[in-house]
Structure 1
């Protein structure tokens, strides 16, 4: 009897093992891996792991060799009869060439097939990096340089270009609008890092797919998608995060949750952040200290001593981000997605304007931005139809965005407060299609229409009697800017080792501005300005893997930026004693770029990635001296100011080199390092000048150890000096944001930081990320920035997942 029971028990265990469900986990942190393809050698049987990493092997035979494949992990295989465990661990892929990226064509492509260099960060990497804003997130890629004029800022620089020569997209929708300026921009901070599922950065031109502004690069943010239930049961998941940072007393809270049904899914995300004034480091130039600031009591301004000159007063602000998404998928090949996005900051001071002196006192009593608000409603339809003659996959979007910003400034001991308010209504619609013409050829093509309406208001308020009078507006009120375009992109892949891609895009841009109201103050020689211009851009590139250890990428492209309302219609004080006025005679600027990249993989142990590039920018739109009816100076807000305007008055040549290395010492320990060298010059009236937005040489080095629940990252960031002679003329005049060299001239000193970041996952739900940044408490200010970076900074974040 006992023998019979033993045989029955062994038989039951054997059958359980054979029929058991397998859980697939990441070998580095033991987290589930959804979306793993599980198939046999003949591919007659296949399964996909669910959100918990679980997959059933019931349909496989005992003698089947079962393969486990995921784009981000190394492939694993085993004979089913030899599988004597319920858990399989997959090792992350060191190479990453099999990663699928979207931004290069708006449809998924293998990273190895794309001829341009594209950076990517996943939500897990973003969680570990723990950025305070999306500007900090971009900086963590190692190839994007960030300038800040205030704590509520972050203006990206890529390959010597920045601001409105770079394009920002959110879920495929362009964020750039008609008032994106050539001066530093902080719109990227409106994107909530907690809501991002994937970030991709194209280094170099992207005008064929994205149109105007995509000259130096495209920063694409893809937010989290609502997840449907893949069984009859409802799916509910949630994430909550609390975070504190010591350098600016940051207090952050975040919550998101997903409800998934069979055909419907809902995703909600809420984040709130509060920052106090930022403390700089202890060791560095004394020029950066804040010895005094202005206070206003009973309407009277006075300068007071700063009790702690390392506290940059005033820089604090707060911000809220909301995201609501809904997905309806009646069939596997059809889905409707609606997303509503909202971001709003409090007022925040423009710190670089508050540290300027005039004679023996600070120039401004107040200079701040009003709330920066961004709203977007995006409706998307995705349809798969492989029997169609026109497309295999179709994506159509209809989007409305609203941007609001304002500026408030008042000179020291002045009773007049200047206020300007801007609002842009941006409508866009586009359709993008993908079609496989043959096993070797794919076609991507689409149409896009964009319309922007600009509202602008200006007034001066007397703070003593509260009287208000109208004043010149920053932009012509009621002006508009629109674009219509069509593009096509062809991908030819005769083998796994060679890919050729080429494309064309035609854009036509219209804009209209009426200066009648502003001419009461400016007396311009014209009342209206119009833009009616077209641009044809193209690109061609190859990705070639002649041997297992090496990959070459070569790409040539043209790009353009059409003048927007900021170019033809803006009025503002660009610097002390200068005012920018409208110009109705501006053409598009064009860029011609070639870049060459190589990637060497030595048995997944050592990976070297390098690229070089050259860009020629023609008819560059720059700010320069101007005149109105023969006058080179006018009165602006009570100050006799030199007249300037945006003009096609320059050309530029930009070149650089990027190099990265990854050394995998063991499965747990690796070293990564990235370094960027950027050079070039601008030519104006035959004279050569340094480029304003060419960042100094910069890089980082990380030594990372990751095993199961614990990750430790010791890293350094470093930045080269920019001497006085290497500063652009516009930067040389901003001595208030720079340190002084031995000759008393402004310059940007070199700097470095040493940092330590750790993450511990207590279980599948609870994790803690802690960082100690700038351990040596360096006092430094990134190039062109108006605010010093954080001193020694302890950041602690707790995340709980349900």
Structure 2
């Protein structure tokens, strides 16, 4: 570690010499005309620029070595080229016209490649895409990604589900570090705002090789807002209104970059009333959120670092039954009061042909829950408003001390060394770890005071052959659990991954990935012994649980031409010693007793998608996708919380003009099938169809861009219940018709 710190110090203060520069011109491959405002970006440096009116560009301060330069522009194929620095000649880059959308650079996998170059299939969506669909929250928005769903408790509390796996089986990364916020609880939400977020990536399948325990089912990777390009600055104001909840979210941000230093900040506020159905408002689904993000970066030729901070504070109502009918935005009892602090730093030291990455994080999560001692019967709108004032007075008296008060403190580190490229081999070796303490301060305890330590060592290589690529790696992990008043537990596992990508025929790419993953049991599964009020069960843990070990096979076929895209993704996931709750037929304190047990399980399914943009109507898009997951225990019973099969059909138009830029409109029909394959204590769910539509455009106002979007979801005001809704046992409907209006003004 002393050697690493010494290298970082030398790099930051004494290596500003050797300022390498990349210069070039970007043209149309068919006409030879120069292209203005083309985006050029080096992913691992997070450094970019755009071409000027003559199609020329300059990138300064580039370290020696091999770099990937990505060129993207609307209406053209995204191009990725390798540039060896130092370079003396000017680059001439020709882009091919295409109706296919621009490709994204994938950050969550270690080699930072375009999706077409990636051996592992990764889904990518920008926040602007998710917002345009009418999503209210970030957790709501990610359900628009194929293979991704959410276990929800109203609007404010949602947990990502990837191909049927959730909670501690799905790892969330934000600002480059793992997010730890008591994700073991199904009623514990994501705790992140979409303000100050650039995009979302989803790895579907075991990613334990890259991220360790808890990534057995996949990874949700949240990419923060980029810094401004060198010697540039910008600001923006965003405002969104939602008719269903009479709610809003708004944010203000500014960023500026010089040659070496850069900074940004963004603050946001959100508040929503109880969501409405065609028949009633769902009492206490209201919530409030405040969020602030800031970043500071420095970059020289040999050294790059950035520090980011995010604080998110939210008050989330916990719905129990249909009661007070009002549009107040202050949560009633019971409610959660959650504050999450995320500190992160990302540093890179560049050598001649290699680099060292050091990512450090500290997460402080404060979770408080205030309980309600009284139940409320349904009222009409007028009676509900009269009683609301009395209830608020009651809250002030009762909610002085939290019944549940937990503090989770997590420090983690991730150090990777990218070895010099040797022929066809790109290789990374690394070490990752975590130190975590959980402390209780309230009367109730869901999980005990405990200390967790993780250590993982791994290596992986990407091998480039003429007609195919291979990616392989291995990893060893160890987790130590020290439980206060209990025993010390240890879990360790070896895991590996092997992937292939090749072009079978013209325009057809095939990917085959074989991977194993593991998950150590969480504290709730090991130590529970009491009533879990969020689920109305008496849960009993099992300290003899072993870790889960899975083996997954993924096969993906993708056809892409200028006007037609088609993909088929299939998977089979075997999970040994799957941990789940099973009722034993007894009761304690009037609640049914559930025990944590283990059994082998398997999941299988996949996604199929089709996209047509016919010539010469390149502005017209037809999109259709189907997703399916089946999960069963080896004993024959179905797994709980498996999403129902669904089909999404979308018609979309896109066009640009001098006055209306980035203009679009869409109509979407989501058809969800009935879910009759249910777990032991689940009920079946009926089928339903949801109609959505929206449009948006960007206009010039006072010489700056103003983006306007309008979207409507559940336009027919359908009464329906999602199979993954935790309000399903009470027969409470999901949200009805909602019209959202959004404005973003660039300062």
Pick aligned residue for 1:652 from 601, 611, 614: 601
The answer to whether the 8 Å contact 1:458/1:474 transfers is no
Structure-2 change in CA distance of 1:135 and 1:92 (3 Å): farther
1:204 Cα shift? 0.8
1:445 Cα shift? 2.0
Q: Deviations over 1:77-107 (max 9, x none)?
A: 9xxxxxxxxxx998566176x64212122x4
The answer to whether the 8 Å contact 1:499/1:542 transfers is yes
1:53 Cα shift? 5.5
Give the gaps of 5 or more residues in structure 1.
1-19, 25-29, 38-47, 60-67, 78-87, 283-308, 357-364, 460-471, 516-527, 733-746
1:193 paired residue number: 194
1:580 to 2:580 alignment: no
Pick aligned residue for 1:664 from 606, 613, 624: 613
Q: Deviations over 1:189-220 (max 9, x none)?
A: x2221311121101111000001111221110
Q: Secondary structure of 1:192's match?
A: coil
Structure-2 change in CA distance of 1:116 and 1:332 (3 Å): same
1:124 Cα shift? 4.2
Pick aligned residue for 1:384 from 350, 358, 370: 350
1:183 to 2:191 alignment: no
1:718 to 2:671 alignment: yes
The answer to whether the 8 Å contact 1:530/1:584 transfers is no
1-structure distance, mates of 2:514, 2:25: 50
Matches within 5 A, 1:310-459: 310-329=280-299, 331-346=300-315, 348-351=316-319, 353-354=320-321, 368-387=334-353, 392-412=354-374, 419-459=403-443
Q: Secondary structure of 2:735's match?
A: coil
Q: Deviations over 1:693-745 (max 9, x none)?
A: 2211013121111110221111111211113xx2212223xxxxxxxxxxxxx
1-structure distance, mates of 2:568, 2:546: 35
1:703 paired residue number: 651
Q: Deviations over 1:611-653 (max 9, x none)?
A: 11111111112223579xxxx765xxxx244544433x22211
1:6 paired residue number: none
Pick aligned residue for 1:673 from 615, 621, 624: 624
1:501 to 2:471 alignment: yes
Q: Secondary structure of 1:585's match?
A: coil
The answer to whether the 8 Å contact 1:164/1:180 transfers is yes
1:160 to 2:164 alignment: yes
Matches within 5 A, 1:26-425: 32-35=37-40, 50-51=49-50, 54=53, 57=56, 70-71=71-72, 74=76, 94=100, 99-105=104-110, 107-176=111-180, 179-181=182-184, 183-187=186-190, 190-230=191-231, 235-280=232-277, 282=278, 309-329=279-299, 331-346=300-315, 348-351=316-319, 353-354=320-321, 368-387=334-353, 392-412=354-374, 419-425=403-409
Structure-2 change in CA distance of 1:36 and 1:449 (3 Å): closer
1:36 Cα shift? 7.2
Q: Secondary structure of 1:125's match?
A: helix
1:794 paired residue number: 739
1:76 Cα shift? 10
Q: Deviations over 1:292-350 (max 9, x none)?
A: xxxxxxxxxxxxxxxxx421122111101110100011x1331110100111112x222
The answer to whether the 8 Å contact 1:731/1:784 transfers is no
The answer to whether the 8 Å contact 1:135/1:156 transfers is yes
Structure-2 change in CA distance of 1:368 and 1:31 (3 Å): farther
2-structure distance, mates of 1:344, 1:139: 23
1:475 paired residue number: 447
Pick aligned residue for 1:750 from 663, 687, 704: 687
1:554 Cα shift? 0.6
Q: Secondary structure of 1:568's match?
A: helix
Matches within 5 A, 1:607-626: 607-624=565-582
TM-score with structure 1 setting the length: 0.75
2:523 paired residue number: 565
1:150 Cα shift? 2.2
1-structure distance, mates of 2:375, 2:194: 40
Structure-2 change in CA distance of 1:91 and 1:343 (3 Å): farther
Q: Deviations over 1:50-95 (max 9, x none)?
A: 3576556499xxxxxxxx9724652599xxxxxxxxxx99856617
1-structure distance, mates of 2:26, 2:724: 54
1:558 Cα shift? 0.5
Length, aligned pairs only: 644
The answer to whether the 8 Å contact 1:226/1:260 transfers is yes
Structure-2 change in CA distance of 1:800 and 1:599 (3 Å): same
1:380 Cα shift? 1.7
Q: Secondary structure of 1:584's match?
A: coil
2-structure distance, mates of 1:49, 1:109: 15
What RMSD in Å do the two structures reach over aligned CA positions?
3.1
1:143 Cα shift? 2.3
Q: Secondary structure of 1:193's match?
A: coil
1:80 paired residue number: none
The answer to whether the 8 Å contact 1:21/1:54 transfers is no
1:484 paired residue number: 455
Q: Secondary structure of 1:566's match?
A: helix
The answer to whether the 8 Å contact 1:147/1:782 transfers is no
Give the gaps of 5 or more residues in structure 2.
1-23, 29-34, 59-68, 80-93, 324-330, 377-393
Pick aligned residue for 1:531 from 489, 496, 502: 489
The answer to whether the 8 Å contact 1:700/1:716 transfers is yes
1-structure distance, mates of 2:723, 2:592: 26
1-structure distance, mates of 2:340, 2:406: 12
2:509 paired residue number: 551
Structure-2 change in CA distance of 1:501 and 1:672 (3 Å): same
Q: Secondary structure of 1:797's match?
A: strand
Structure-2 change in CA distance of 1:419 and 1:597 (3 Å): same
1:793 Cα shift? 1.4
1:605 to 2:563 alignment: yes
The answer to whether the 8 Å contact 2:176/2:346 transfers is no
1:610 Cα shift? 0.5
Structure-2 change in CA distance of 1:383 and 1:71 (3 Å): farther
The answer to whether the 8 Å contact 1:243/1:798 transfers is yes
2-structure distance, mates of 1:765, 1:366: 40
Structure-2 change in CA distance of 1:474 and 1:75 (3 Å): closer
The answer to whether the 8 Å contact 2:510/2:557 transfers is yes
1:561 Cα shift? 0.3
The answer to whether the 8 Å contact 2:150/2:724 transfers is no
1:406 Cα shift? 2.4
TM-score with structure 2 setting the length: 0.80
2-structure distance, mates of 1:771, 1:245: 10
Q: Secondary structure of 2:403's match?
A: strand
Q: Which has the larger radius of gyration?
A: 1
1:252 Cα shift? 1.6
Q: Deviations over 1:500-542 (max 9, x none)?
A: 1111111100011124xxxxxxxxxxxx122112111111010
1:661 Cα shift? 0.6
1:275 Cα shift? 0.3
Q: Deviations over 1:652-693 (max 9, x none)?
A: 11110210011012221111111101113124xx4x211112
